[in-house]
Amino acid sequence: MVFKSIGEIEAALASHQYITDPALATTLYLAQALKKPVFLEGEAGVGKTEVAKVLSRVLETRLIRLQCYEGLDAYSALYEWNYAKQMLRIKLEENAPDKARVEQDIFGPEFLIRRPLLEAIQPNAGPEANGVCPPVLLIDEVDRADSEFEAFLLEILSDFQITIPEIGTIKAKEPPLVVLTSNRTREIHDALKRRCLYLWMDYPSFEKEYRIVTTRIPHIETRLAAQICNFMQALRSMDLFKKPGIAETLDWAAALIALHRDNLTAEDVEKTLGCILKYQEDIAKVKQENIQKMLEHLGICVT
């Protein structure tokens, strides 16, 4: 599937319950048109990872996810040899007359364990591969990986090819659609950003957040949805250690529905702060602000 316009992308994402904006839709349109990776940076919980997930559903293709972490190396992300299987083959063929053939065979595709980056470059080799549309490759939280791994990604994202000494060079017939995300726990090198289309994803406005809540939780009372979004906007204006994102908004809305609430009260807010704030210091600060007065200031009727 090739998007013909920015509006088509917005509509396609909305049909899969992802509310976007013109900036993100434009970036995704250009990523497909120019065949360039997308680098999404922003606070945790604003919907960066979800972009790749929804794109794979819209394009009806595979999502290949590489979750980054400290100490991640090229072999963990790219490929490794199945040593146990190789040793078993050697053991079974120890009396074989053609030792050279055995040595050649054990470094064939049958003994190769494909990791996310290789799977994204050569998706048709796996039994579960779609074989039609290139996959969506999600390199999630790249800021958690080491700078050495970041440098390794430069070649992959530039040429979409890798060289396996025992096999040779493998090049993508058609590059995957790549989405990189970062929570900005550290700065990413300019060399990586230059290879991508960059977009900062901020916390949503009240209007966008309200649309997200009512779209993702269609059975929610509109009054409660508005109250939740108003309160979340107020929280993000406070000096908190970790401001809540959209993910926390949706979790909180689901929790209030599970409690059969259709109107916010100071008591309910206090009891469910753990759904939206994950640090005790932030919870204590909100309680000190007097939740009831916060609700009254927002025009929410407190019962």
180 and 70 co-located in one domain:
yes
For 76-118, the pLDDT digits (tens) are: 898 888 888 878 877 777 766 666 666 667 777 778 888 999 9
C-alpha distances (whole Å) from 172 to each of 121, 156, 176, 180, 215 are 5, 10, 8, 18, 37
pLDDT at 126: 47
Cα 166 to Cα 228: distance, rounded to the nearest angstrom: 57
146 and 180 co-located in one domain:
yes
Q: Output 155 or 19, whichever has higher pLDDT.
A: 19
166 and 284 co-located in one domain:
no
pLDDT at 242: 93
Written as six digits, the tokens of 161 are 């090819």
Residue 42's DSSP bridge partners are: 201
41 and 70 co-located in one domain:
yes
Cα 65 to Cα 16: distance, rounded to the nearest angstrom: 19
pLDDT at 162: 82
Segment 213-235 mean pLDDT: 95
For 173-210, the pLDDT digits (tens) are: 888 999 999 999 999 999 999 999 999 999 999 999 99
Angle value at C-alpha 28, between 22 and 33, nearest 5 degrees: 120
For 228-257, the pLDDT digits (tens) are: 999 999 999 999 999 999 999 999 999 999
194 and 258 co-located in one domain:
no
C-alpha distances (whole Å) from 274 to each of 2, 228, 268, 286, 300 are 42, 15, 11, 11, 21
182 and 215 co-located in one domain:
no
Residue 97 lies in a domain: no
185 and 291 co-located in one domain:
no
For 23-76, the pLDDT digits (tens) are: 999 999 999 999 999 999 999 999 999 999 999 999 999 999 999 999 998 888
For 137-176, the pLDDT digits (tens) are: 999 999 999 988 988 898 888 888 887 877 778 888 888 9
pLDDT at 130: 45
Written as six digits, the tokens of 83 are 């040593």
65 and 175 co-located in one domain:
yes
CB 39 within 8 A of CB 197: yes
Cα 26 to Cα 260: distance, rounded to the nearest angstrom: 40
Query: What are the phi and psi torsion angles at 229 (to 5°)?
Result: -65, -40
Angle value at C-alpha 78, between 54 and 1, nearest 5 degrees: 30
Residue 103 lies in a domain: no
C-alpha distances (whole Å) from 108 to each of 111, 160, 167 are 6, 21, 7
pTM for the complete prediction?
0.85
215 and 266 co-located in one domain:
yes
Q: Output 129 or 22, whichever has higher pLDDT.
A: 22
Could you give the number of structural domains in the chain? 2
Domain final residue pick, 178, 201, 224: 201
What is the identity of the amino acid at 256? L
Residue 84 lies in a domain: no
Percent of the chain with pLDDT over 90: 63
